Amino acid sequence: MSRDMARNYIGGKWCDSAAERLDVRDPSTDEVIGQVPLSSSKEVEAAAQAASDAFEEWRETPPVVRIQYLFRLRELMEENYEDLARTIVLEEGKTLDEARGEMRRTIENIEVAAGTPSLMMGRNLEDVARGIDEEVVRQPMGVFACIAPFNFPAMVPWWFSPYALATGNTYVIKPSEQVPFSQQRIFELLHELDLPPGVINLVHGGREAVEALVEHPSIVGVSAVTSTPVARHIYAKASAQGKRAQCQAGAKNFIVVMPDADLGRAVPGLITSFFGCAGERCLAGSVLVAVGDVYEPLKERFTAAARDLTVGNPMDETVQMGPVISQQHRERVLAHIEAGLKEGARLILDGRAVSVEGCERGYFLGPTILDDVHPDMSIAKEEIFGPVPSLMRVGDLSEALDIIDRNPYGNAASIYTSSGAAAREFKYRVRCGNIGINVGVVAAMAFFPFGGTKESFFGDLHGQGQDAVDFFTEKKVVISRW
């Protein structure tokens, strides 16, 4: 497992960076597991140049040949599955099962991208006028880049990069500086493929590297997955230069439970949604909205199930929730709880004092539930990104829909109900990119588009599947007469 110095991978070679380094810590123990360079704009320039130099030859490589590399990468990922999952756990802190799930989703995107020769096919019509044919063809555009967040260190760059490569573009990945080693490990596997140098490159770093990527003239588009202020900034900067940009951003997800919901089936889904990945996923539930009479039984069963969760070292197979990513983030989540209490919310489950034997310095926070939350409180409006659900009580579905509508984010929302009419009303009215009906974590499979609306997404084409192929290609119409 790579646990020392994260290195850049540029033009098919591992490169030591001369830049300032940051310590990378295991969130379960606070131990330093390695260092990451905050690469300079010069190093980004070298990666962009290598990708640009590789482009002409790569675009001329037939798609059926390009996807052979993806098949082989898929096999290498399967062979190294457990090692990759453990690398994710080590640097991110999610549980082993959650990390295995992340690797599965990573591989699924590679599998779907291997269908690119079909997804990329153009269309044609003979005799648009007598003796004249018209066709539309798709072509790759050049060098694209991905700017990734900490919470899915392996998967997020692979929502985009397999499609970019299969369609004939070349690529630069910049992982989050908090979790450099999962991509490092994936690039060790990529290195075994003998791809032409420069087709895919890895640059570690922070803000300077991001700015340099977005500004670089050879980079024609970016896929960013970040908090909302960063996404808005990257989108504005990239699009002002005429670049393509798809920027997936923050979230505040509401889950509505109707009085007719089957709580026996709903509660396990709710627990996974609010506490899975310690609440650090853009699809995590954040506000639990109880409609009418369901409030009391829902509160009781949800709180009891949350209290039973095993918090601990995520490398332990029996543990159900690991730490949050950093001490700084833990303090941010605690500040949200404090703000909620000041605004009048009530703690009905307090996980702030949780302690894990053998991991006393880890960034743990037990399940924490705030009740009596009102829509105008900060905890009901702002992204928390931790295991801290807010419980809210409303009179009817229409009131719940109005609250969701007023929230600036639009990543995901779910309803638990046994009424087709309520489910239909919800699906029809809620303006979110991902809607769950009796499903709490609305994670689109790789052959569906993935992205949000409102302040959760800046751009138009989403990640994954056909949307990704559209994002990475431009269309030309050819009209011919012979």
> How many residues interact with ligand NAD (rule CB under 6 A)?
25
Tell me if 142 sits within 8 A of 55, measured CB to CB: yes
Residue 447 Cβ vs ligand NAD, minimum distance, rounded to whole Å: 17
Of residues 252 and 393, the one with the C-beta less far from ligand NAD:
252
Q: Catalytic: which of 15, 146, 247, 282? A: 282
> In the range 275-334, which residues lie near ligand NAD by CB under 6 A?
282
Closest by Cα among 175, 194, 179, 161 to 76: 194
Inter-CA distances, 56 with 61, 122, 394, 413, 478, Å: 9, 21, 58, 43, 21
User: Which of 272, 268, 249, 275 lies closest to 452 in space, CA to CA?
Assistant: 249
Instruction: Dihedral sign for Cα 57, 58, 64, 67, please.
Output: positive
Min. distance of Cβ 127 from ligand NAD in angstroms?
45
- Are 72 and 78 in contact, with CB atoms under 8 Å apart? no
User: Does 177 help bind ligand NAD (rule: CB under 6 A)?
Assistant: yes
Candidates 174-182, 337-345, 398-406, 438-446; binding stretch for ligand NAD (CB under 6 A): 174-182
Rounded to whole angstroms, the Cα distance separating 125 from 478 reads: 11
Asked if 465 is part of the footprint of ligand NAD (rule: CB under 6 A), the reply reads no
Query: Per rule CB under 6 A, is residue 226 in the interface with ligand NAD?
Result: yes
Residue where the block lists tokens 């979230």: 251
Minimum distance of ligand NAD from residue 99's CB (angstroms): 15
Q: Report yes or no: 51 and 149 within 8 Å, Cβ to Cβ.
A: no
* CA distances (Å), origin 103, targets 84, 114, 239, 448, 461: 7, 17, 32, 18, 24
Could you say whether residue 6 binds ligand NAD (CB under 6 A)? no
Q: How far is Cα 163 from Cα 381, in angstroms, rounded to an integer?
A: 35
39 binds ligand NAD (CB under 6 A): no
Nearest distance in Å: CB 204, ligand NAD: 9
Among 347, 374, 359, smallest CA distance to 311 is for 359
Which span sits near ligand NAD by CB under 6 A: 26-34, 67-75, 204-212, 362-370? 204-212
Q: Which is nearer to ligand NAD, 161 or 226 (CB)?
A: 226
Taking alpha carbons only, the member of 130, 139, 154, 137 closest to residue 220 is: 139
Measured from the CB atom, the residue of 298 and 388 that comes closer to ligand NAD is 388
Least distance to ligand NAD from the beta carbon of 248, Å? 4
Check if the beta carbon of residue 322 is closer than 8 Å to that of residue 89. Answer: yes
282 has catalytic annotation: yes
Q: Which of 40, 109, 151, 169 binds ligand NAD (CB under 6 A)?
A: 151
HSE at residue 289, side-chain half, CA atoms within 13 A, is: 26
Which residue of 227, 239, 303, 419 would you call a contact of ligand NAD, by CB under 6 A? 227
Q: Considering only 10-18, 129-137, 138-146, 148-156, which stretch makes contact with ligand NAD by CB under 6 A?
A: 148-156
Residue 364 CA: distances (Å) to CA of 7, 96, 352, 456: 29, 16, 8, 27
Q: Which of 113, 145, 195, 249 binds ligand NAD (CB under 6 A)?
A: 249
Do 105 and 88 form a contact (C-beta atoms < 8 A)? no
Q: Which is nearer to ligand NAD, 123 or 207 (CB)?
A: 207
CB nearer to ligand NAD: pick between 96 and 224: 224
Residue 384 or 394 with smaller CB distance to ligand NAD? 384
| Binds ligand NAD by CB under 6 A, chosen from 13, 42, 123, 207 | 207
In the complex, the residues that contact ligand NAD under the rule CB under 6 A are: 147-151, 174, 176-177, 206-207, 210, 225-227, 230, 248-251, 282, 383, 385, 411, 452, 456
Task: Point out the residues that are catalytic.
Answer: 282
